Structure 1
Amino acid sequence: MAYERAVSGGRATLDAALQRAVRRASVMRLGFYVVVLLVALAGQVSGAVEALGIPLAAAIPAVGALELGGIVVLANADVRRRLGERAIGSRLLSAAIAVGAVAFNWLAHDDHLLGGFFAGMSALGYLVWLTHTENQRRDRLRAIGDLPPTTPAYEVFGHWLRHPLLTLRAKSLAKADPELGLYGSIAAARGETRRDRRQRAIAKVLHRKIRSAVDPKTADIALAVYDLDEIAARLARRADYDGLTDLIAADLAPARLAGLAPGEAPPVMAAEPGAEAAPALAAFVAPEPEPEPEPHRQSQPHRQPQSRPEPVEVTEVVPVRPAVVSAALTEPSEEFRVIEAVRREWEELQRPSRATTRAADGDSPRRRSRATARVPVQEQPAPAAAPEPEPVAAAGRRDRSLRSRVHAALDTHAPADGQGDSNQLVALVADVLQLDDVERMSAFTYVQTWQRDAARVPQQAGRP
């Protein structure tokens, strides 16, 4: 109630202010027209006296009739239009008289600048009176309901440029119902747009359904008879939102997005051996009992014996799956094997060069021959050839690094000068050491480093 009273009071204040503004504008317009009319009449009289030679007493009423003739005829046309007539003849005659007065003011003066000034004042007076007459006519038509009320001022960029069709419909709705206002008319236009789209969709489906049973003419009649808004309302009441939500949720399920078959479990990333073993095995290992406190000595009688915690009764035991633990401990994944091979290769690269290791080690015949080439010593009989080593077992392969095993196999079975095809040497090492595909790729690098070291040792031996 208070809000309505405030609104009604504000409207009354605006109406009173509007009435005062209308009266003030009317007085100002009348004064402006009188001044303009006097200036135009002065120009008409001076032009008639100079150009036509008419006496001043006769020129004043003559040019006054010419200047005011357009206004008189225009007022008569306005009266006829109030009676419902169009008054086209009266309006055309009024315009012709006004054009004649302007032309006479322009041509009757030898100074065209002065004639242009008087002609402009004559045209300005007629246009001011014409504008006032049309404003009064629109107000009268709007008061009796023959002219729609003024529409809200829609934004140029936000409404007309971005949504021209929607704004045009909102303007039409605001003309039909002035209570909608600016944003109410836009909301109503959006609602009508959605309703039209929904009715078109329903009409298309309904026409197809009915035409499948009867002829197209009967389908058209059915569409004209049935109320599409009522059908849309009943469809909205019967809509199963839960089922539609479940249907969309099924398409967004992680298993469907991952492309898994129905019932297929998602893949589990393999962890490092022993990462899950400790928590799993801890369930089978009983905790060690805490040591009992020593009896208190007699020299400390003031200390109270510590109370031991009461045992807690276990009512539920959670089973542990040992199968998963044993698989994780005994069967490492392929990714883990690749990571281990890269780690061993990195450790070999961080170690000292092979030339230093070969100089310190003198077990094989080839190493002894190179050491002899570097340091001259007395010749001694060559020792008996060592028997060919057996292929290294899988367990020993894990103990020693891949680089040392490849170099040892090449020292034993490859030529001493290191010459030869690298691929053939890799195949030789793979056959001797029984390497898999991952170790074979790493062995190729070790074969090339062995060849470079083998080619570098004779050059160093030939130096003084």
Structure 2
Amino acid sequence: MNALTTFDPRPAVPPAVGRVNGHIPAVLAADEPRSANTAAAAELDADLAKTVKRTSYMRQLFYVVVLLVALAGQVSGAVAALGIPLIWAIPAVGALELGGIVVLANADVRRRLGEKANASRILSAAIAAFAVAFNWMAHDNKLLAGFFAAMSALGYLVWLMHTENQRRDRLRAKGQLPPVTPAYELIGHWLRHPWQTLRAKNLAKANPDLGLYPSIAAAQAEKRREVRTAAIAKVLHRKIRAAVDPTTADIAVAVYDLDEIAVRLADGADYDGLTALIGAALTPDRLAAEQPPRKVQADVGTPLRDVLAIDGQIDSAIDSGADTDIANLSAPEPTAPSTARRLAHRQAHRQNRRQVRTATRRQVSAVDTDSGTDTDIDSQTDRKTDSGTDSSTANNTDSGTDRKPARKTATGTARRGGKAKHSPSAIANAAALRERYGNRLPAADNTIRTDMKWSHDRVRAARTAHHAKADINTDSTGA
């Protein structure tokens, strides 16, 4: 059983000064004198060599004991189950027990030569599995059978782990396997800064000289460099593209060393001037003189806003039925912050819509009263207002029934004798439209609704009064 030999995982070339097996120990991460680092590295190297040799002896002894126990189970099972003489059973089951190890050693040699050796590895595993199965089936006492089978499996697995450890050490010594990275903290590094820790781990793989915290510092510096390079490339590309074509700008950004530009920018930076510029803005006198800008409120007293405000007062006056001098109405004083004003505007909009409907009904009722007819104005006006369509109904005169007057239309007018009579709210709204758009209104009602924040019925009524120039006639009549 001299197959197990001591293997030193350190590379053939002596490690660099201050390194153990190609890595900087944790105790050498601090800034210490060169002599102290060298002495500590030499001590750790010597201790590592002793540990590797001692572990190799322990492993060999353990494997010999496991192999003897497994062979005892194999021999006793072969004699009891197969009836083979003891002198022949020992070499037979010995070949079975060691067959998996021999084939696995051959596969390890082929893998050192660069081959995968899949066939040898599969055959080795099959032989070991058969040895374990034979130990289990050859004994009637299943507790004893399980013990011998477990020892056979344990011996093969110990050998397999030792072979794989040797292979990884060889690959790492040749630079074909990444070095062992520092042990980063779970909460402080992985959970709080996962991407930064992953970047630090990759940097530690590429440069084994980086320890735990130097690799994190290198990751932070690399991230800052990426952000700085991206900003410089963006500005450089924009400046060059302003002078030449975009393709030339792309070539220039790809050719120029952006890190060198960053270095020269840092060397030529005027830190004194920048500090003075920022300090001048933070002087107490200037901070005390500067007040936060106040929000400028819109002038609610403009003629357009006055017309809109008076429109609501006219509707309220019509709704109450009181005698009100429309000429003496005035706009309310501007109040309230912007949020309260928006809420008040929405509420006034809904209230004004109801008032327009009520005022129109009363106008139509007044027309019907003057004509001496009796109609159900409320029910029919509600239906016409909700549907938003213009209609006028009349019964057949030949039937001898009374002729019903025209109903209220969606435009907010009542027709009698072919002449349209506009409500005061429609006239006020028409004046507002004329002040905003002049004599030519937008073709789409949605444009007026968006600009004026009016309902569909209100826009139609105002448009009709505008086309009829009811607001101009009213002004000229009043004059």
Report the TM-score range of the alignment, normalised by the length of the smaller protein: 0.5 to 0.7
Q: Distance in 1 between matches of 2:70 and 2:115?
A: 32
Report the CA distance between 1:251 and its aligned residue: 4.1
**Residue 58 (structure 2) aligned to one of 28, 37, 53:** 28
3-state SS of the aligned residue for 1:212?
A: helix
1:25-55 CA distances to partner (integer Å, 9 max, x unpaired)? 1111011001101111122222223333333
Question: Structure 1 residues 260, 140: CA separation in 2 closer, same or farther (over 3 Å shift)?
Answer: closer
Correspondence for 1:150: 180
2:267 aligned with 1:224, yes or no?
no
Q: Distance in 2 between matches of 1:184 and 1:261?
A: 47
Matches within 5 A, 1:44-443: 44-254=74-284, 257-258=287-288, 260=290
1:401-423 CA distances to partner (integer Å, 9 max, x unpaired)? xxxxxxxxxxxxxxxxxxxxxxx
1:305-350 CA distances to partner (integer Å, 9 max, x unpaired)? xxxxxxxxxxxxxxxxxxxxxxxxxxxxxxxxxxxxxxxxxxxxxx
Structure 2 residue identity aligned to 1:196: E
Report the CA distance between 1:228 and its aligned residue: 0.5
Structure 2 residue identity aligned to 1:88: N
Q: Distance in 1 between matches of 2:147 and 2:244?
A: 79
3-state SS of the aligned residue for 1:154?
A: coil
Report the CA distance between 1:259 and its aligned residue: 6.0
Report the CA distance between 1:69 and its aligned residue: 0.8
Q: Distance in 1 between matches of 2:164 and 2:80?
A: 37
Report the CA distance between 1:142 and its aligned residue: 2.5
Q: Distance in 2 between matches of 1:44 and 1:110?
A: 13
Structure 2 residue identity aligned to 1:135: N
Structure 1 residue identity aligned to 2:145: G
Report the CA distance between 1:261 and its aligned residue: 6.9
Question: Structure 1 residues 258, 25: CA separation in 2 closer, same or farther (over 3 Å shift)?
Answer: same
**Residue 41 (structure 2) aligned to one of 11, 20, 24:** 11
Report the CA distance between 1:256 and its aligned residue: 5.0
3-state SS of the aligned residue for 1:191?
A: helix
Name which of structure 1's ranges 167-176 and 186-195 shifts more when overlaid on structure 2: 167-176
3-state SS of the aligned residue for 2:179?
A: coil
> What TM-score comes out, normalization by structure 1 length?
0.52
Name which of structure 1's ranges 12-21 and 34-43 shifts more when overlaid on structure 2: 12-21
Aligned length: 261
Report the CA distance between 1:143 and its aligned residue: 2.5
Structure 2 residue identity aligned to 1:228: L
3-state SS of the aligned residue for 2:209?
A: coil
Q: Distance in 2 between matches of 1:40 and 1:133?
A: 20
Q: Distance in 2 between matches of 1:148 and 1:223?
A: 34
Correspondence for 1:320: none
Structure 1 residue identity aligned to 2:193: H
Q: Distance in 2 between matches of 1:104 and 1:168?
A: 48
Question: Structure 1 residues 253, 5: CA separation in 2 closer, same or farther (over 3 Å shift)?
Answer: closer
Q: Distance in 2 between matches of 1:216 and 1:97?
A: 68
Report the CA distance between 1:255 and its aligned residue: 5.0
Name which of structure 1's ranges 216-225 and 20-29 shifts more when overlaid on structure 2: 216-225
Name which of structure 1's ranges 197-206 and 224-233 shifts more when overlaid on structure 2: 197-206
Structure 1 residue identity aligned to 2:175: G
3-state SS of the aligned residue for 2:72?
A: helix
Name which of structure 1's ranges 62-71 and 200-209 shifts more when overlaid on structure 2: 200-209
Question: Structure 1 residues 6, 245: CA separation in 2 closer, same or farther (over 3 Å shift)?
Answer: closer
Report the CA distance between 1:128 and its aligned residue: 0.8
Name which of structure 1's ranges 70-79 and 146-155 shifts more when overlaid on structure 2: 146-155
Correspondence for 2:329: none
Question: Structure 1 residues 51, 234: CA separation in 2 closer, same or farther (over 3 Å shift)?
Answer: same
Q: Which runs of 5+ in 1 are unaligned?
A: 263-464
Structure 2 residue identity aligned to 1:168: L
1:226-274 CA distances to partner (integer Å, 9 max, x unpaired)? 1110111121122232333344334434455446479xxxxxxxxxxxx
Report the CA distance between 1:207 and its aligned residue: 2.2
Correspondence for 2:441: none
Structure 2 residue identity aligned to 1:60: I
Structure 2 residue identity aligned to 1:79: V
Report the CA distance between 1:119 and its aligned residue: 1.5
Q: Which runs of 5+ in 2 are unaligned?
A: 1-31, 293-479
Structure 2 residue identity aligned to 1:49: V
Name which of structure 1's ranges 95-104 and 211-220 shifts more when overlaid on structure 2: 211-220
Structure 1 residue identity aligned to 2:170: R
Q: Distance in 1 between matches of 2:130 and 2:72?
A: 16
Report the CA distance between 1:198 and its aligned residue: 0.7
Matches within 5 A, 1:445-460: none
Q: Distance in 2 between matches of 1:229 and 1:43?
A: 70
Question: Structure 1 residues 113, 212: CA separation in 2 closer, same or farther (over 3 Å shift)?
Answer: farther
Sequence identity of aligned pairs in percent?
A: 75
The structure whose Rg is larger is: 1
Q: Distance in 2 between matches of 1:3 and 1:234?
A: 34
Correspondence for 2:18: none
> What TM-score comes out, normalization by structure 2 length?
0.51
Correspondence for 1:39: 69
Question: Structure 1 residues 229, 47: CA separation in 2 closer, same or farther (over 3 Å shift)?
Answer: same
3-state SS of the aligned residue for 1:70?
A: helix
Correspondence for 1:265: none
